[in-house]
Amino acid sequence: MIIAIEGCAHGELDQIYRSVENLSRQRNVKVDLLICCGDFQAVRNESDLQCMAVPDKFRHICTFYRYYIGEVKAPILTLFIGGNHEASNYLQELAYGGWVAPNIYYLGYAGVVKFGGIRIAGISGIFKGHDYLKGHFEKPPYTSGTMRSAYHVRSLEVFRLKQIKEGIDIFISHDWPRGIYNYADTRELLHWKPFFRDEIANNILGSQAGESLLHELKPKHWFAAHLHCRFAATVQHNETQSTNFLALDKCLPRRQYLELIEVPHDSNQSLELCYDPHWLAILRSTNHLLSVRPTTQYMPSGGPGSTERWEFHPSQEEIEEIKTIFNDDYKIPLNFVQTAEPFKPRPNYNRNARQAEAQLNPQTTEFCEKLGIDDPLEKLIGKPIILSAPVVNPDEIALEEDDDEEEQLGDQSEEPASHENNDVFFVDTKPQKRSKMSLPQPQNETLDEEPLLKEKEEVAETTNLDKSSSMMVNLWNAVNELQDWKSGKGIILHSVGETFCSGGDLNTVRQISNPDEGYKMSTLMHNTLTRLHQLPLISVALIQGKALGGGAELATACDFRLFTEKGEIGFVQGRMGVVTGWGGGTRLVQLLGQHRALELLLTSRQIAAPEAVALGLANGITKSSELTEAVEEAKQWLQPKLCHAPQIVHALKHIVATARAVPYEESLLNERQVFAMLWGGDANKKALEQNIKHK
């Protein structure tokens, strides 16, 4: 079998495949498999670019998207692991491996597969000691910190790989195993990379995790990249076992980034990519060790007094169980599916697009359900789209029955909401039987010359928040659509009745009153309200009645809160025998400080409008309690805060939101980056031309 080994790909797939074709023609051989050792850069669109931890000058779409959409197909089966220059959001969808495009397979955080009877193992990312013992806690949209820690090797994957006792033919990593330079002449290496001298002398060049795997697994071949040079070594483990190590450069002209090797294999085995049953058994038996928390977690060690299992090499019984689950058919299904809109080629594409939200990949969902293990990304974000039944918040109390009112509303004919563009968007928060949701249509141009709010235009409303389809699901959908409202500046959340948010149907709550369902519901609303809070739009909660439990938490997710004279807010979760479940407790501490927040949570008392203003929980009180007039007052109150161009409003909101979520130095860095992105832009040039600063 002829295998092509490539170092750092850096998105240059077209060039790599051309080089493989040329080299195979020169050698007069047929290449059966291409292995890439990281920095693959599976970038599907502009949003993926923003999830790569690289300087802006290196953020290029390159050519992967053409393979993703099927415009071209990889001419050779391609297998790769992740490096430190990746669209981590996409790879995170495939924690246990999967097809990123037809005929291109990602090995996952770590993985073991078979091809023609050859066992190939690998681990993605690079080693950083400060993250090694943590769980996979990162999820998009990333901060500058989590964008980097997302590709750091974790102890769980190393522990799992060490359970493999069967021989490994090929191992793939991105960074080098530490100490590999001790097994070859380093003079040539230091000639090309003299700055490695001190790291080699101090034995700190390379991955400690890789070093332990090298001596534990003793693979026949080990391929790596990362340090952008070619280096070969042979590690003699014992009289019968040795590892041939080869590191290659990145894909650039006159660089040594590609080599062909011949690996003996059983010619009776078909050249198909297959799961390794031992690896599947290990994943299944160690599923309980998976963590998605940023805290230290130690793997079982079997120390004195330990009673837990610490050795997970599969037993014959566990292998038989896997054989039954997979019906003795380990061929990896060709189930690639697109999960994001692909890049559309055009001049001057948007290099400053926003990061996309995390989403699940059907390949991983199918694999996990079949094997009976957890998808780490699902543990982080839940399954917000796939809801088998309406889910409501058990934190809230049903304050009133509106059946009569709902029947009357259901009989009324309703005018379709306007689709014209507006700067302010209104969201109804009270469950009612209303017409289908209607949102302002996104537009490419901003209407800077037009008045902020025009009397002749209707304001669009979200009105699909009936009980039967769940207010939470509709709010999640509304936030999704608002994220794409590029020309908008502000949103106002209000009820259509006397109560800001009256809670869910207690009968439904009783049906889902178990920890698993509660966790799923909490995860859904944590995600929804966090994204609402992080929208680039300025949000106002108009509390014209009671906002209790989940309604109070919803209000804290807004940038501002206005009360009518009848408005009340109360964190009454304690009365229901629970705590805040939608992130409201954390936001309340940020708003009021520890002591005031704790007092409100412990007493569960309801706060009237004047006290809410005094505490800093409300930003003002409207003169009118009548809904239409109160909404108009809220609109006029918000208007002066939306005087800048949309991109400026969005950027200012981003700076403030980021400052509350990240460390001080990271916030300063973000502010500089946002400033640089806008400097010399259309709004800046227009202001300079009009000498606005001195007017």
Bridge partners (DSSP) listed for residue 211: none
Q: Assign 625 a pLDDT band (cuts: 50, 70, 90).
A: confident
Same domain, 466 and 605: yes
Same domain, 313 and 353: yes
**Is 569 inside a domain boundary?**
yes
What mean pLDDT do residues 164-177 have? 96
Q: How many CB atoms lie within 10 A of CB 615?
A: 17
**Is 377 inside a domain boundary?**
no
**Is 603 inside a domain boundary?**
yes
Cβ pair 205, 254 in contact under 8 A: no
Closest CA to 337 of 356, 317, 363: 363
**pLDDT greater than 50 at residue 650:** yes
Same domain, 665 and 633: no
Q: Which of 313, 344, 371 is the last residue of a domain?
A: 371
Task: Give the structural domain span for 337.
Answer: 2-371
**Is 656 inside a domain boundary?**
yes
What mean pLDDT do residues 74-99 have? 97
Closest CA to 223 of 16, 5, 4, 39: 5
The per-residue pLDDT for range 483-498, each reduced to its tens digit, is: 778 788 999 988 766 6
> Could you give the CA distance from residue 447 to residue 204 in angstroms, rounded to a whole number?
57
Q: Using a CB cutoff of 8 Å and minimum separation of 24, what contacts does 554-558 make?
A: 554/429, 554/475, 554/493, 554/501, 554/529, 554/582, 554/584, 555/500, 556/584, 556/587, 556/588, 556/591, 557/529, 557/530, 557/532, 557/533, 557/582, 557/583, 557/584, 557/587, 558/493, 558/532, 558/533
Q: Is 408 helix (H, G, I), strand (E, B) or coil?
A: helix
Same domain, 663 and 518: no
DSSP H or E stretch at residue 374: none
What mean pLDDT do residues 150-158 have? 97
The per-residue pLDDT for range 274-302, each reduced to its tens digit, is: 999 999 999 999 999 999 999 998 899 87
Sign of CA dihedral 138, 139, 142, 148: positive
Three-state SS string over 222-287 comes to EEECCCCCCEEEEEECCCCCEEEEEECCECCCCCCCEEEEECCCCCCCCCCEEECHHHHHHHHHCH
Q: Which of 337, 371, 405 is the last residue of a domain?
A: 371
Q: Assign 686 a pLDDT band (cuts: 50, 70, 90).
A: confident
Q: Which of 371, 398, 428 is the last residue of a domain?
A: 371
Distance of CA 281 to the CA centre of its chain: 27
Residue identified by tokens 């991105």 is: 174
Token output for 207: 């991955």
Same domain, 597 and 687: no
Per-residue model confidence (pLDDT) at position 429: 54
Same domain, 305 and 416: no
DSSP H or E stretch at residue 666: helix 664-678
**Is 376 inside a domain boundary?**
no
> Could you give the CA distance from residue 224 to residue 132 in angstroms, rounded to a whole number?
19
Sequence-distant (6+) residues with CB within 8 A of 409 are 432, 433, 434
Same domain, 613 and 655: no
The per-residue pLDDT for range 559-597, each reduced to its tens digit, is: 999 999 989 999 998 888 889 988 899 999 989 989 999
Same domain, 155 and 24: yes
CATH (domain of 416): 3.90.226.10
The total number of structural domains in the chain stands at 3
Instruction: Answer with the residue of higher pLDDT: 526 or 227.
Output: 227
Distance of CA 203 to the CA centre of its chain: 35
Same domain, 72 and 187: yes
Same domain, 319 and 414: no
Q: Assign 394 a pLDDT band (cuts: 50, 70, 90).
A: very low
Sequence-distant (6+) residues with CB within 8 A of 30 are 2, 24
> Could you give the CA distance from residue 680 to residue 688 in angstroms, rounded to a whole number?
10
Sequence-distant (6+) residues with CB within 8 A of 192 are 229
**pLDDT greater than 80 at residue 659:** yes
Q: Which of 222-226, 354-358, 439-443, 624-628 has the lowest mean pLDDT?
A: 439-443
Same domain, 182 and 331: yes
> Could you give the CA distance from residue 41 to residue 14 in angstroms, rounded to a whole number?
13
CATH (domain of 245): 3.60.21.10
**Is 231 inside a domain boundary?**
yes
Cβ pair 89, 43 in contact under 8 A: no
Same domain, 151 and 288: yes
Q: Which of 199-203, 463-467, 511-515, 589-593 has the lowest mean pLDDT?
A: 463-467
Cβ pair 611, 561 in contact under 8 A: no
Per-residue model confidence (pLDDT) at position 509: 60
Per-residue model confidence (pLDDT) at position 664: 84
> Could you give the CA distance from residue 431 to residue 445 in angstroms, rounded to a whole number?
34
**Is 117 inside a domain boundary?**
yes
